Chain A
Amino acid sequence: MSDASSERDPVEALATEFVERLRRGEQPTVEEYAAQHPTLADAIRGLFPTIAQMEQLKARNAPLPGGAATLGGPRPETLGDFRILQEVGRGGMGIVYEAEQQSLGRRVAVKILPRSSLHNPRLLNRFHREAQTAAGLHHTNIVPVFGVGEEGDYHYIVMQLIAGVGLDEVLLRLGESRHANSGGSNGRAAVPGSGSTKRLAEAADAARMLVDSNIEHAEEQGSSRPAEKDGGPATGKPEAFLAEAATDDFRPGTTSPGKVGPCPSLPAKGLSTDLTDLLRIGPTYWRNVARIGGQVADALEHAHERDVLHRDVKPSNLILDRHGIAWVTDFGLAKAMQDDSVSHTGDIVGTLRYMAPERFRGEADARSDVYGLGLTLYEMLALRPAYEAPDASSLMRKISEEPPPRLAAVAAGIPQDLETIVMKAIAREPAHRYQSAEEMADDLRRFLDDRPIHARRVSSVEHLWRWCRRNPSVAGLTATALMLLIVVAVVAGVGYIVTNRALDGELVQRRKADDTSDLALEALDDIFEQFAPDRMSVYANLSQDDTAGGSMQATVQPVLSKAAASLLERLLVFYDELAALGGGDAEFRRKGADANRRVGDIRAALGQYEQAETAYFRAVEMYRQIGEHDRSDSSVAIETARIYNSLGELQIPAGNPTAGRPFHFKALETLEQVVQSADRSPAVRFEMARTCYLLGQEGGPPRMMFGAPPQPGDPWDFEFGGSREMLADGPPLDDRFWEPPHGGPGPRPASYERQENERYLRRAIDLLERLVEEQPAVPDYQHLLACCYRDLPPAGPNAPDGEKGRQTDRAIEILEELVERFPAIPIYRADLVETYLQAASQLDVEAGATAVSQLNEALAVARKLVAEHPNVPVYVLSQVQVHLALSQAFSREAQPAAAEVELRKALGLQSSLVSRFPDNMPYRIWEAMIRISLAESLNELEKLEEARGLLETAISGLDAVQEDDPDGPHRGHHRLLEQGYDLLAEVYRQLGQEDLAKEVLRQAEEFRAPRGGPPGLPRR
């Protein structure tokens, strides 16, 4: 800026000027500079071409929508017989000028190709050949090609001048009008220099025409077009232009300079505001889209019959004239211009966007053109491109991998048949598309005539099936699921069924539809089960909750693999469709309700709790309606109760276990009503027992880590008081349904809620014992019974010594039998491990050896579980717990070395969990806890240095938890931190680092102070 020329390299100073002129759109030549500066001529000739190249490169690589070509040289005044008048448009292939053919005195469109584009004779030949072929096409919807020519460095094509505007510009206007209200002209802003306000106005007119008037009539007039065409001088062009004919006052001459380059300036405002009225896009517009589609398909069919492929069907190659006629231009030019590598022009992204997936493999046939037309129609309907990506490679990936979003999801109201036609045209596999443009034209006409179309909606299941086939990694995981999918795909999807039913409404059809959707639902349920290794559909989160203990509630967060989650998302689409079935038909409403319930299950499994809740509520409502129609059907009530219980369980991961209680009460109430109507079927009683079991859990004292009974002041009693407080805020405890089975209050004064929980559990046990007696073969009854026995609140110190033990023994006995009978069901084994743990913890201190042997049994089961289901974190956790319990048993037996080994194993496993689920705070708190325990043990073994390291890591880990999730409840967090500080201080002291010890104690005090807790908690 400020530097004087004398201080600069003279060539550089000249280069700066040269570049500035280039950037202003001028055409400075190298020779001009060489001539003016003879002393520097060599350097100028040597360097300036490279400089120009750099500038050109920048313009080309700019990722602008429809990045335009440059001529790479000055615009010629004349080309042969043609006098160039004005630029009317630019595209990736070249620049289009309006020109006068002097010999004939007519106006034509001349497309000049970039000089660099045909540098190779092979390409040049191909260009001539293709242009020749295109010139042989005569169709009302194809822009006639008069010929090709070359002069000097320029190659050009002469075409009829169409008084019209490129569909891409029309779409841009329509899109802008749609976004005008939201004020976002972002992203799809007009290319700077791409249009005069005049042209923008013309595009707006065309857009208005599409929205407001029926272009059908124009099409009828079309038969008399030739005469009109030959008439007055019209200006226009194949790539993007409009009529001058309509506006007499326009004088050609002011060509827009067309500064090419990524200068994100704003599009001409003001016009777009004119267009806000265009927001009323509706049936007229949609029918016009279908009409345009029909015209273009006709044109393509005409060309295809003559073995000419277009290869680049996209909005900018379709011109809409003011009569509503669509003209296809640039036939075959894509091939002529394209190198084998698709990276030739700067317009790559623009061109790729409409390219059929098979084109990336170098294949192209008529169906590829059908695809291009389909995508164009998609964009017209959605008012946004089907695929958008910032660069070529991610765009290619998108096109090859994902279908575009369903139109219904993008814009409301689009007729379903029209969407079906478009989606069929853009199917990824050519075999799934219309096999010819004619077929597509035919269906579009059928749509316009309100006749049934031939295309069939691709059902969600079919989508799923296609998706699975394209994703072999997912498919490979689940051979059985895949087989089921085949079944479902064969019996076809629900959308089809419903449509057909609506069409003929025959009983037979209906019967068939019923069977089909039954089968589909069943198959899908099976698939779902495959992806729910812990059978969450039966017991939901129950097992996880058990294993994890009260302080580990976050473990009920979904733990699905990415592939499983992805498959579930896909299933969801199908279920959603089923769920929408509702309607007037009772049977279908039932299926809809079932599907809604399952949607809730899946949402819950995916961690989408709010959506799960919505689906559950919808299901409850649907069941309620069904129940009103048919009161005799108790299965409806059972389903309803089941959903209420699911809703209740949903509250656990949401952070407040007591919030689930009202739902479980509601479930109980529902079931009570059924029982009153004298239905005492096993299903009702089982669900009732399950409800009682859940009520016996929720809000109760958290289960202890080692299964040890909670003692106030026990360091592992994670904020025991917390749950009491929560209960106080919860709903009033309700014992309407309760009559004490054994009469009288419990043997010792326990907290009210603990009594409450125990009473519900005992009621569940009563129900289940009877069920097991009636139907000993049903494993679910026994399983739940075992869980109830195990989860009975711990007997107090005054209880008869053996009582608690007997309950646990009974649980173990049942579970061992279940494991033996059903070795494939992991949840039985997981519960067995948990129960072993509990049993070991109840043993007297003297029975250490027995505890160790029992725990070793638990370890064997847990190890196997983890080996078979490495992706289920809950199982890993249970193994961690076994190790911890073993370490405790060993230290009780005064075997510190063995205890240390177990702690190290526990830490290793836990750390692996943390690294897999870094966002799970409880996992991290556990990890810190194990570190502290290990440090404690090392402290006793006087391995002070390592203990210090562990403690420091643990404390900083706990700090990080607080930092990463400051709002979380973090049970046990404070207690652990206190303990960590205390222990660290002691270790420092033993290491002779008194100062550090004091500092740590000071921190601990500071940390304790705001809590108001008693200082100096007993250290274990």
Chain B
Amino acid sequence: MEFNADESGELVARLKEGDQQALAELYSRHRPRLWRMIHFRLDPRLRGRVDADDILQEGYLAAVERIQHFRDESSTSFFVWLRLVLGQTLIDVHRRHLGTQMRDAGREISIHGHRSPQATSVSLAAQLLGQFTSPSGAAVRDEVSRQLEQAVDAMNPIDREVLVLRHFEELTNGEVAEVLEIQPKAASIRYVRAIGRLKEILSQLPGFAEEENADG
């Protein structure tokens, strides 16, 4: 984690006692990871229309408004709570901008992992494809893209979400467990399994194998 856990714990304690300054402090500490979440989950159609920073700002206001819920709720860790608030903000933003399209496109963004596995799978495939290089151009790329999406789609949705949370959102194992409402041990096992599965998928696609060898 990027900051001292003890200090963070103290801030959370101050927050629970009603210190608003602590919220601002904590928010800025968690900001990079929240930014990652937005970056990963924002619908591509909205890029350019909405700015991650704006969503972060809106999310902060929402957090200020709802902070009492956190104070009352002792079981959730602060980051997971914050992520939830921001996730709601993100959904609102999508509604606002995509309106009805959102419903029929079946692309509800997923924040909690198991609600809408489809979205995660498309985004994940897109992220994976970002590195894909093929000398023979667009046609191959499209084909690989299709295969990749199918393969990622076929993964266990929770495993898939674990990968995204661990790598793209930089959550710890404990946080992943909390978000997905599973035991830390289960989260840990799932992570290892998911990496193994991903490796299989990538090894079967042309254009990825070399890349893998090149890495230390």
Cα separation A120 to B188 with both chains bound (whole Å): 37
Q: How far is the CA of A55 from the CA of B44 in the complex (A)?
A: 21
A857 to B214, CA, bound (A): 82
A8 interfacial by beta-carbon distance below 8 Å? yes
Cross-chain contact B128 with A52 (CB below 8 angstroms): no
Closest A residue by C-beta to B170: A23
Q: Roughly how many angstroms separate A13 CA and B189 CA in the complex, as a whole number?
A: 10
Q: Which of A258-266, A485-493, A875-883 contacts B (4 or more CB under 8 A)?
A: A258-266
Contacts of B189 in A (CB 8 A): 9, 12
Please indicate the chain A residues that have their CB under 8 angstroms from the CB of B136 in the complex: 340
Quick check: A12 and B141 within 8 Å, CB to CB? no
Interface presence of B130 (CB below 8 A)? yes
The complex places the Cα of A29 from the Cα of B215 at a distance, in Å, of 9
- Report the separation of the CA atoms of residues A216 and B69 in the bound assembly, to the nearest whole angstrom: 65
Cβ of A122 within 8 Å of any chain B Cβ, yes or no, is: yes
Check B141 against A29 for contact (C-beta < 8 Å): no
Contact with A along B76-97 (1 / 0, CB 8 A): 0100000000000000000000
Q: Which residue of B lies closest to A122 (CB)?
A: B135
Scan A441-483; emit 1 where CB is below 8 A from any B CB, else 0: 0000000000000000000000000000000000000000000
Within 8 Å by CB of B188, from A12, A43, A52, A123, lies A12
- B48 near A73: Cβ-Cβ < 8 Å: no
Q: How far is the CA of A140 from the CA of B160 in the complex (A)?
A: 55
1/0 per residue, CB under 8 A from B, across A417-448: the answer is 00000000000000000000000000000000
Partner of A57 from B39, B128, B134, B185 at Cβ < 8 Å:
B128
Whether the pair B32, A263 counts as a contact (CB closer than 8 A) is: yes
A73 vs B51: C-alpha distance when bound (angstroms): 33
B167 is an interface residue with CB less than 8 A from chain A: yes
Size band of the interface chain A makes with B: 35 or more
**Which B142-191 residues have C-beta < 8 A from chain A?**
163, 166-168, 170, 172-175, 177, 184-185, 188-189, 191
Count residues on chain B whose CB falls below 8 Å from chain A CBs.
Answer: 52
Which one of A43, A262, A389 contacts B192 once the chains associate, using CB atoms below 8 Å? A43
Q: Does B72 contact A (CB under 8 A)?
A: no
Query: B94-135: which residues lie under 8 A (CB-CB) from chain A?
Result: 127-128, 130-135
Q: Which of A12, A52, A63, A390 contacts B173 (CB 8 A)?
A: A12
Of all chain A residues, which has the CB nearest B193?
A: A9
B140 (CB) vs chain A CBs: closest residue? A341
Known: A12-B192, A120-B135. A1 touches B5 (CB 8 A): yes
A56 CB-CB contact with B under 8 Å: yes
Instruction: Tell me the complex Cα distance, A1–B138, Å.
Output: 43
Q: B73 an interface residue at 8 Å Cβ cutoff? A: no
CB of B71 closer than 8 Å to a CB of A: no
Asked whether, in the complex, the Cβ of A47 is within 8 Å of the Cβ of B128, the reply is: no
A46 within 8 A of B: yes
Tell me the smallest distance from the CB of A19 to a CB of chain B, in Å: 8
Q: Give the distance to chain A from B184, nearest Cβ to Cβ, in Å.
A: 4
- Nearest-CB distance from B54 to chain A (Å)? 10
Interface centre among A52, A153, A343 (most CB of B within 10 A): A343
Q: How far is the CB of A667 from chain B (nearest CB, A)?
A: 45
Is the Cβ of B216 less than 8 Å from the Cβ of A29? Answer: yes
Closest chain B residue, CB of each to CB of A348: B130
Interface residues of B in 29-45 (CB under 8 A from A): 31-32, 35-36, 39, 44
Contact B174 A61 (CB under 8 A): no
Q: Determine how close the nearest CB of chain A comes to the CB of B146; give it in whole angstroms.
A: 16
Chain A, residue nearest B35 (CB) = A264
Known contacts: A46-B199, A391-B47. The answer to whether A54 contacts B163 by CB under 8 A is yes
Which residue of the partner chain, among B51, B133, B135, B195, contacts A47 with CB atoms under 8 Å?
B195
**Chain A CB within 10 A, most for which of B5, B51, B185:** B185
For residue A994, give the distance in angstroms from its CB to the closest CB of chain B. 39
The residues of A that contact B191 with a CB separation of less than 8 Å are: 9, 12, 15
| C-alpha spacing A274/B47, complex, angstroms | 33
Q: Which residues of B contact A505 (CB under 8 A)?
A: none
User: Is A56 in contact with B215, judged by CB distance below 8 angstroms?
Assistant: yes
Contacting pair B47 A394 (CB below 8 A): yes
Residues B137 and A47 in contact, CB atoms below 8 Å apart: no
Report if A53 contacts B (CB, 8 A): yes
Considering the chains assembled together, what is the distance between the CA atoms of A49 and B137 in angstroms? 26
Whether a CB of chain A sits under 8 angstroms from the CB of B65 is: no
Residues of B within 8 A of A2 (CB): 174
Instruction: Provide the residues of chain A in CB contact with B172, threshold 8 Å.
Output: 1, 16
Q: Which of A338-373 contact B (CB under 8 A)?
A: 339-341, 343-344, 346
Query: Which residues 4-28 in A have Cβ within 8 Å of B in the complex?
Result: 7-9, 11-13, 15-16, 19, 23, 27
A-B contact pairs, 29 of them (CB 8 A): A3-B173, A3-B174, A3-B177, A9-B188, A9-B191, A12-B191, A16-B173, A19-B167, A30-B216, A49-B199, A50-B199, A51-B167, A53-B131, A54-B195, A56-B131, A58-B127, A60-B130, A60-B131, A61-B127, A61-B131, A73-B216, A116-B215, A119-B210, A119-B214, A263-B32, A264-B31, A340-B136, A343-B130, A394-B48
Top 8 nearest A-B pairs (CB, nearest first) are: A8-B188, A3-B184, A390-B47, A1-B174, A12-B188, A50-B199, A9-B188, A61-B130
Interface residues of B (CB under 8 A from A): 1, 5, 31-32, 35-36, 39, 44, 47-48, 51, 53, 77, 127-128, 130-138, 141, 163, 166-168, 170, 172-175, 177, 184-185, 188-189, 191-192, 195-196, 198-199, 202, 210-212, 214-216
